[in-house]
Structure 1
Amino acid sequence: MSTGTAKEQLFRLPDLGEGLTEAEIIGWTVSVGDTVEIDQVVVEVETAKAAVEVPVPFAGTVLHLHGKAGDSVDVGAPLISVGPSADAGAAAAEQYREEEQGGSGNVLIGYGTGHAGTPRRRRRIRHSSPTGSQQAAPAPTQSDSAPPDAAVRLRDSGTQGAPRVLSPLVRKLARDHGIDIAQVTPSGPSAVILRKDIEQSIARSGPPAVPAGSADNSARQETTPGALQADGVERIPLRGLRRAIAEKLTRSRTEIPDATTWVDADATNLLRVKKVLQAAAPDQPLGLLALLARICVSGLQRFPELNSSVDTAQNEIVRYSAVHLGFAAQTPRGLMVPVVRDAHRMTTAQLGAELARLTALARTGSLPPEVLTGGTFTLNNYGVFGVDGSTPIINHPEAAILGIGRIVDKPWVLQGELAVRKVTQLSFTFDHRVCDGGVAGGFLRYVADCVEHPETLIVDL
């Protein structure tokens, strides 16, 4: 979506799909005066579903950034203004500086100049070209007064000056842990610094040490959202994914009359089967989650009442023939529920591969928005947090969610004798509008039987 005159092209926040109407700016990868190419990523925004990198549809020089990090932007609202050429862009950019900064020439790097705030500048280094002309290039480090979300580009002599562009999420991770990105060795294509590169640097360096009385430390305390106030109260804005989670869980608790039932199950045989499968196919990610997913799919085919949702507007129960299996994944950005489409059509090996792929994308913040919607049932393995049981909240508008607790050694009566077995607790929360306790109990008992005797799954394969 772009409009503008011959001297200026205005790009508006495009429709990001999935009915999303707004997004929050995470950070800009360009600043006023930079030259951009067609389809170059200029900003990263966070929707209610995921972080999205937004490319600009035309080339030119950046004249204006219509927003700063943390701003909420509606779909169709101005995002970035681009001039037709470097020379014209530079002149127009200078005009923006003079008009919006009272002729001071100060530009809010990475911030919309239409917003009030204290002007802060990032130093730029000019390199001489072979012809003797001056060419602007971003500095490898920022001045102390630079805003924390300003775009960062590094020049890598090993790639003949190609820029190493960091994702705003990766840049924030480095900043929060005091990592000097100039000292980080990139492992991504074209010498791009990836999240794992920063995490490795964090592991080597330990916690950052910032002098208590330094100016930089003082500035961070004043500008960081959620910082302690004078009365000792901390206020943390509900934004982006955190706000989406809060709204969805609140809606679930408000609209769905849920009930929870649970049972202990002997998972000794299930762990044995997992070990055998992993030994037989070491190159395939056949973990515990894949086996539990297979059990859920089989159970939903036996109890289709639970693979449904309630349409309150039409006063109808909507039952689905396809199983789109969501699974809870804890990520640095918060709780996400990626969805495995058409899980009922997959083999156990295919389920394992898809679960591994989506988990990796979730941890790097690379999940596309469409992967986080459309689920019909959710599996939540909260046992990875070391807890035994829970009463999970249904992922609205679904009708049920199965929770798996940790697997621990417990005394268990087996064939009339006391033995030590690998025991887990299964908890099942369901929408009482779609079924009664008989169906819910039947499903949970079937899942428990499959956990205890996984060979019964062969009947449904």
Structure 2
Amino acid sequence: MAIDYTMPKLAMAMNEGVINQWLVEEGAYVEKGQELATVETEKVAYDVESPEAGYLHIVVAEGETVPCETLIARFAETEAELATLQSAGDTPAAVAANEAEQAAPVAASSTPQLTDSSARVIASPLARRLARDANLNLHGVTGTGPGGRIVKRDVLPLLAAPQTSDAVLARVPFTGMRKTIADRMTASLQSTAQLSGNWESDITAMMAFRQEYVRREAELGTRVSVNALIARAIAYAIKQVPIANSCLENDEIVIYRSINLGVAVSVPGVGEYDSGLMVGVVHGIENMGLAELDLSMKAVVERLRTGQATAEDTSGATITLSSTAGAGPPGLTSTPVLNSPNTALVGPSTPIERPVVVDGEVCVRTLMPISFTFDHRVMDGEPAARFMRALHDCLEHPELMMA
């Protein structure tokens, strides 16, 4: 008897997933625990393992988005049972072939053309969408997917091919991660009452404090970063104003005991002109020393950028750190968008040296611009101001980080 396999729920916040790639061909025999498919959520892609042994019958094609617990494949015990499943005619390859017979080929003189128009195009929905958006003809493209189907990886090189028109530098597909980022940013701004405060903190003492740890790099096993110090300052400020570490769930404001720091991370996008953004999560930072915190933050960032992040790495954030320090110009101020459902986000920028008055004397100090965005539905102006003051005090007096 065939065994059904549904879209797995890989994280608490996951409602749907995309089949990025089937790692096993239609009809092939798979062992229990063998890598079966790459599934993409709104945050990260996972390689999922087969929960059963058997002959694989694929129900949902690559590129398709389906809700969790939706049937995506079946496992047949015998080849005869597999043949029975396949005879139903619902395999993605058969559906794609049928669509290809009915679809008119796309052609445009300003884009690369592949001229073998006599062949039927068998392509995944995602590959078709990418080709359609870029006005590419898929006839003649060699597919590397199951049964020779054209899949996403076959189309991406064509998107970077030279075009004869000088009017367009590049076309970046508004799909995948780019579309997810757009949806989340739009939803965040439309569903919350966001307000940002901006100020400068004198981090001259903090940078000297950091040098004490830098000198111990060999002993600690890490070169403690400025972001780790800012994270410690965030933890200090939350102790003074706990509501900053919260979210709004239905009709309740949930204030968390543990501080799970979301860290905004820039990751590669699709091609030269695209970029990506993900939020990694470091859990329980209030219990970490500086070196442990620094190592944990760097480890999560590395896993995100190399595609090895786990569900825990991308879920459960209670407050967010989104730093543009080192990327933006010195002195930059901004109004960062909240990482919903978090109530608050801290956004430091590149420090700048300015002359300031200290104890009646003019001297040059290192000032870091800080932005703080909060949801005014949850957090009023007075507690928000107290949080900003506590964060400011800790950055200017780094000994408070060790309190």
TM-score greater than 0.5 by the shorter chain? yes
Aligned to 1:328: 264
Structure 1 residue corresponding to 2:205, chosen from 248, 269, 272: 269
Q: Label 1:266 to 1:150 Cα distance change in 2 as closer, same or farther (>3 A).
A: farther
Task: Quote the residue 1:197 is aligned against.
Answer: none
Q: Does 1:73 align with 2:17?
A: no
Moved more, 267-276 or 352-361: 267-276
- State the Cα distance separating 1:298 from its structure 2 match: 0.6
Q: Is 1:20–2:7 an aligned residue pair?
A: no
Give a deviation string over 1:279-303, Cα, whole Å, max 9, x none.
Answer: 1133125211111100100110011
| Structure 1 residue 26: Cα displacement | 0.9
Paired residue type of 1:269: A
| Matches of 2:364 and 2:144, distance apart in 1 | 54
Please name the residue that 1:192 is paired with. Answer: none
1:347 partnered with 2:313: no
The question of 1:113 aligning with 2:94 is answered: yes
Please say if residues 27 and 150 of structure 1, whose CA atoms lie closer than 8 Å, have aligned partners that are also in contact: no
Letter in 1 for 2:143: P
Deviation per CA, 1:292-316: give whole Å up to 9, x if none. 10010011001113222234x32x4
3-state SS of paired residue (2:339): coil
Deviation at 1:210, TM superposition (A): 5.8
Match of 1:396 among 340, 343, 346: 340
Matching of residue 32 in structure 1 with residue 26 in structure 2: yes
Corresponding letter in the other structure for 1:20: M
The 5 Å alignment of 1:40-439 reads 40-62=34-56, 64-84=57-77, 88=80, 92=83, 96=86, 112-115=93-96, 116-117=99-100, 118-120=120-122, 145-147=141-143, 172=153, 176=156, 236-239=173-176, 241-282=177-218, 283-311=221-249, 313-314=250-251, 316-332=252-268, 334-387=276-329, 388-439=332-383
Aligned residues: 354
Q: 1:372 Cα shift?
A: 2.2
Deviation at 1:148, TM superposition (A): 5.7
SS class of match (1:375): coil
What secondary structure does 2:389 align onto? helix
Q: Which amino acid aligns with 1:254?
A: Q
CA distance in 1, matches of 2:63, 2:340: 27
TM-score by length of 1: 0.67
Q: CA RMSD in A?
A: 3.6
Q: 1:9 to 1:259 in 2, by over 3 A?
A: closer
In 2: Cα distance, 1:12 partner to 1:209 partner: 35
1:7-49 Cα deviation digits (max 9, x unpaired): x444332333415332111112121243322111121111123
Q: How far apart are residue 65 of structure 1 and its match?
A: 2.1
2:12 counterpart SS class: coil
Q: Larger relative CO (CA 8 A, sep 6+): 1 or 2?
A: 2
How far, CA to CA, are the matches of 1:268 and 1:26 in structure 2? Answer: 47
Name the TM-score, length of structure 2 as normaliser: 0.75
- The 3-state SS of whatever aligns with 1:398 is coil
With over 3 angstroms needed to count, the CA separation of the structure-2 counterparts of 1:335 and 1:144, relative to structure 1, is same
| Percent identity (aligned) | 28
Q: Is the 8 A contact 2:6 2:71 kept in 1?
A: yes
For 2:356 and 2:336, locate their aligned partners in 1 and report how far apart those are by CA, in whole Å: 26
Q: Find the aligned partners of 2:242 and 2:315 in 1 and give their Cα distance.
A: 20
| Structure 1 residues 288 and 99: CA distance shift in structure 2, 3 A | same
Return closer, same or farther for 1:305/1:15 CA change in 2, 3 Å cut-off.
closer
Q: Is the 8 A contact 2:343 2:379 kept in 1?
A: no
Contact 1:30/1:151, CA 8 A, preserved across alignment: no
Unaligned runs of 5+ in 1: 102-107, 122-142, 153-167, 179-207, 214-227
Question: Structure 2 regions of 5+ residues with no counterpart?
Answer: 101-119, 124-138, 270-275
| CA contact 2:346–2:370 (8 Å) conserved in 1 | yes
2:272 is matched with none
Contact 2:240-2:390 at 8 Å conserved across structures = no
Offset from partner CA, 1:319-378 (integer Å, 9 cap, x none) = 222222211111125222222222212222221121111111111122223432222211
- Retained in 2: the 8 A contact 1:284–1:353? yes
Q: Write the distance in 2 (CA, Å) between the matches of 1:209 and 1:380.
A: 31
Deviation at 1:100, TM superposition (A): 5.1
Question: Helix, strand or coil: the match of 1:418?
Answer: strand
Q: Indicate the SS of the match to 1:384.
A: coil
Q: Secondary structure at the match of 2:346?
A: strand
| CA shift for structure 1 position 381 | 0.8
CA gap of 1:452–1:148, structure 2 versus 1, over 3 A, is farther
2:356–2:363: 8 Å Cα contact kept in structure 1?
A: yes
Q: Which residue identity lines up with residue 146 of structure 1 in the other structure?
A: T
